[in-house]
Structures are given as structure tokens and as C-alpha cells.
Chains A and B, each alone.
Chain A
């Protein structure tokens, strides 16, 4: 028991050391500054994917995370541009806004299961895009551009985070921001899944009727899980808008929603850290295949199909298999 605990603590420390120290050191040594942008994207996408993973955990196929990422991006952008907010408070507000919206949307649609829920969420992304085109506040197809970089954040006069605009290396700053938020999100997920709440979610996934017969308020639990999921989507979208300093109706599309879901599949639906690994592999895999030109999509899809067939429980099931053999 204590041995297991020590292994856990060691892995967490190693992981933190890699993302916060080793990666920045390696990048500055190699001079590949562009990798910051790539890894920042991976971190943000994995936050969105984590949300999708949580809806999978209650037995729902969610292909609508793009809608909440888009919504989060716009909420942050509008608050900064139209209302003069600093970026920092818009981050939790964007998350909460998406969570609240998802409660209203989720109450009716979470009654659906299987492909029906999947289809409705797929449509959701398209609805979000059309709304962004049509609403006056989102400025139509022109989007919201020239969003200022996040300013300084001070608490009690103490500057906790410096103004990104005056930093020499704002890419590093964004990387650290994205990775920090990612670590917090996955810590929350880990705790959720390993507490009683995780077991309750599993009970929903496996049999909702039985769950309600033992007194579980299934409608409430579904909505809570979906709200947390959408919160993650909103937060990742808000940081995206801040990094690209812009947001358009096409910033998150149906393709992104599908990718959020694929990241979860690839990493493994049974593992909390599945979406993180899945996002990393998928993102870099797609980039590596760039050399193959017109065959990129073909090879990529082919590989995905093969992987699903060979490893239906995701990449992380590989680790479990080797551990069992060893």
C-alpha cells in the first residue's frame, strides 16, 4: 500500500519536473522555440479532451466540446475587448459561463443515450458556429481580433504573474500557463474519478435504471458531470483566444469536436490520463504525417482504424498489459 503510494508520488513529481523544467530547458537548449506553441496547443486540447472523457465516463459519447471551447473563447474575448476586463478573471468566468450553458442544454439532451446523444452534440458545434456568425456581440465572420495579451496579475499589490506583453518570451509564459491549467484540471479529474463520485459515474455508465433504484439521482449527476466537462472546454477555449489574440466562428469546428473525442479513444476511456496521452500522440502524429502530402489524411485515418482494432482500450491499456505480463 505505501509502496504504491510512493510510486504515485514519484510519478507525479517526475511528471511535474518534465513539463515545468525539462521541457523548457530542452527547448531553450535546442532553440526550437516553435515547439512551445505546439506543446501549448497539446496542453489546451488535452484540457478539452479531459472534459469529453468525463462525459464518456457517465456513458455519453460527446462530440460537442468544440461548441464550449468556442463559447469560452468568445466570452473571454468579449469581456476583455468590450468590457475592459483583465484576461485573468475572464478565465474562470468563461468556464462558469460554459458550465451554466451546458446545464441548460444538458437537462433536455442528457436524457438521450448512444448515437442519439452523440448526434445532438455533433450538431451543437455547428449551432455554436452559426450563432457566432449571426450574433451582433461576436462580430460575425470577422471575429474578434487584436485581443491584448494577458496583463499583469497582482494580489494584494504583489505581482503574481507579470504582464505578458512586456515579457521577452511570451511563448514560454503561455506554455507555463497552459500546462499549469492542464495539471490542475487533471488533478481535479483524478480526484473525481477516485472518489465516490467516480464510482457513481461508473454506475451511470453501466446501468442507469439500477443506479436510480439504489437512490442515485441520475439526472443531477449527469448534469454535474456534463457541466464540469463543459467548464474544461470553456477554459481551454479562453486560453486559445488569448494566445492567438483572436477568435473566429471557425476557430473551433466539428473537426475539432471529433478530435477531442478521438483523443479520448486513442488514450483510453478507462484511464484518467488517457486524453492527455491521446492528444499528444494524435497532434504530433498528424504533424509528422505532413511530409506525406496528399496522403496525410488517408494514412492518418488508416492508422487510427488499425489502432482501434488492435488496442480497443486505448494506448494506456498497453502499459497495463506489459505490467500484467511482467
Chain B
């Protein structure tokens, strides 16, 4: 399988703290790769580096061979790397549908001025975005809530909306930061099925998650971080048998890695 994303020697320092320390791995096309690790291991920081929300101290990230780290977030998004946020992050005063429509922005063919004038291209864009938004809402089971103001959604649906926003940008690789956080078992299982479906549609997915049963079920491969360093990489069964991983998680909860 072709390599989609390549993380090489990535390091991020915050003053004296090394949040991400010389991490390298690669993500293959149409793969679901999970990044796990104890709290404060540097997972979110790693995602911010990959999506250019943070500038690496050293090292780089390449998407299909092209460097995408150290740019601006909106440029990384335009190149096809889009992240969702650990906290539920949505445009809370817009309708659910508007949230998803606006997230199509980077696909616009019309310029801002074109939108102001209401040119043919702008109208075509609007129509295409509306249709695509409806399709995404359908896919995520949000159709019935389309006209609801986003901040009124229940938690599980907020997460789904966060993913819908990410999908609308039509990324090559989607970075999901704790997509199952705060969900009950049923909601999680539904979301796991959802993420699988996204992969079947051709998306490459990188995710950070603490819910170990879900991670083991969903991932093709797993990368484990501890204190900013990569301590293991492999398939779910390899990771479950890895001594270093068990050690890293020991002292918290044994069943945390599904043992």
C-alpha cells in the first residue's frame, strides 16, 4: 500500500518541556491508525503539528511527499490534512446545516468578490455545497437535526457534527482527536461503524483515543506515545502484548489496554 503521510523526527518543545520527542512513523493510504498514550503523552500536540496548528521545533511531516508542517492551518487544510478538535468544537450559533455548508469553503471555485456579486460560479458553488452537506448529514445521522442551532445538540451529536465539519472539507487524511470521548457504549459502537464507513469511502484516518476496546476494534495499526516518545508501533494484538506498553499503562489501570 502507498504511503500517505510521513512523520519524520518530529519534535516540539514548550520551553523546557519536550511534548513530542523525535517521533517518526508513517500512515498508509486508507489506513486507520490510532495514536494512544497516557494523559499528557503529547498526542494532541502531535496532531497540532501534523495539521500545522503548531510549528515543529525540528522534524517535518510530508503528505504524499510534499511537506505540510510549519505552514498555516488553512494551508494544511487546503492540501488535504484536516483535524477535528479534542473539545467539541463547532460554530455554535449557526444551524447544523450551515456548519457543514460553510466547512465546504475551501472547495469554492468562486472568489470572495464573486460571492459578493452572486456570480454564476458562486451560485453553482452554493448549490453543490448544499447538496454535499445534506449527503454528509445523512451519512452521520444528523439529517433530522439539520435546522437546529448547533449549540442545542446533545453531546453525541456534537461529536458527529465535528466530524461532519471535517468531512465537508473533503480531506485526504482526517485527524480525529478523541472522537469517542464522553460517549456511551452504543454511541461509541455506532461511531466506530461510522469511522469504518469513512475509510471504505477512501479516507485515511488518524485518531487519538483513550477508549481501548474501541481502539483495538477499529485500528489497523497503533502508535504508542509516552512522555512525548514513541515507545511502540504495531497491530492491535502486537501492542496488547508489548511489555513497554503494558509498563507505561501500569499504575493507572490494567484493563486500560484491554487486558
- Do A and B pair up? The answer is yes
Contacts across chains A and B counted by CB atoms under 8 Å: 88
Which of B85-93, B137-145, B191-199 lies at the binding interface?
B85-93
In contact, B122 and A203 (Cβ under 8 angstroms)? no
- Report the separation of the CA atoms of residues A312 and B153 in the bound assembly, to the nearest whole angstrom: 24
Question: Is A13's CB within 8 Å of the partner chain B?
Answer: no
CB-defined interface of B34-54 with A at 8 Å, one 1/0 digit per residue? 000000000000000001010
Question: Is A32's CB within 8 Å of the partner chain B?
Answer: no
Known contacts: A206-B94, A213-B77. The answer to whether A200 contacts B85 by CB under 8 A is: no
- Report the separation of the CA atoms of residues A153 and B108 in the bound assembly, to the nearest whole angstrom: 41
- Report the separation of the CA atoms of residues A115 and B122 in the bound assembly, to the nearest whole angstrom: 36
Question: Is B202's CB within 8 Å of the partner chain A?
Answer: no
Question: Is A207's CB within 8 Å of the partner chain B?
Answer: yes
Closest to B81 in A: A213
Classify the interface of chain A: helix, strand, loop or mixed: helix
Which of B17-25, B97-105, B180-188, B213-221 lies at the binding interface?
B97-105
**Which A residues touch B84, using CB under 8 A?**
213
Min CB distance A216 to B, Å, is 6
**Which A residues touch B101, using CB under 8 A?**
199
**Which B residues touch A199, using CB under 8 A?**
94, 98, 101-102
In contact, B102 and A214 (Cβ under 8 angstroms)? yes
Which of A190-198, A238-246, A271-279 lies at the binding interface?
A190-198
Question: Is A202's CB within 8 Å of the partner chain B?
Answer: yes
CB-defined interface of A227-268 with B at 8 Å, one 1/0 digit per residue? 000000000000000000000000000000000000000000
- Report the separation of the CA atoms of residues A218 and B94 in the bound assembly, to the nearest whole angstrom: 18
In contact, B102 and A203 (Cβ under 8 angstroms)? yes
A residues neighboring B (CB under 8 Å): 191-192, 195-197, 199-200, 202-203, 206-207, 209-210, 212-218, 221, 224
- Report the separation of the CA atoms of residues A218 and B106 in the bound assembly, to the nearest whole angstrom: 12
Task: Select B91's contact among A196, A207, A212, A221, beta carbons within 8 Å.
Answer: A207
Question: Is B32's CB within 8 Å of the partner chain A?
Answer: no
In contact, A206 and B72 (Cβ under 8 angstroms)? no
CB-defined interface of B63-91 with A at 8 Å, one 1/0 digit per residue? 00000000011100110001111000111
In contact, A206 and B91 (Cβ under 8 angstroms)? yes
Further pairs besides A200-B112, A213-B166: 9, Cβ < 8 Å: A203-B94, A207-B90, A210-B89, A213-B73, A213-B74, A213-B82, A214-B77, A214-B103, A214-B166
**Which A residues touch B98, using CB under 8 A?**
199
Question: Is B168's CB within 8 Å of the partner chain A?
Answer: yes
Min CB distance A108 to B, Å, is 17
In contact, B102 and A195 (Cβ under 8 angstroms)? no
In contact, B91 and A210 (Cβ under 8 angstroms)? yes
In contact, B83 and A195 (Cβ under 8 angstroms)? no
**Which A residues touch B77, using CB under 8 A?**
212-215
**Which A residues touch B73, using CB under 8 A?**
209, 212-213
Min CB distance A107 to B, Å, is 14
**Which B residues touch A213, using CB under 8 A?**
51, 53, 73-74, 77, 82-85, 166
Closest to A204 in B: B91
- Report the separation of the CA atoms of residues A217 and B83 in the bound assembly, to the nearest whole angstrom: 16
**Which B residues touch A224, using CB under 8 A?**
112
Closest to B162 in A: A210
Closest to B150 in A: A206
In contact, B102 and A209 (Cβ under 8 angstroms)? no
**Which B residues touch A212, using CB under 8 A?**
53, 72-74, 77
In contact, A196 and B126 (Cβ under 8 angstroms)? yes
CB-defined interface of B215-230 with A at 8 Å, one 1/0 digit per residue? 0000000000000000
- Report the separation of the CA atoms of residues A191 and B166 in the bound assembly, to the nearest whole angstrom: 28
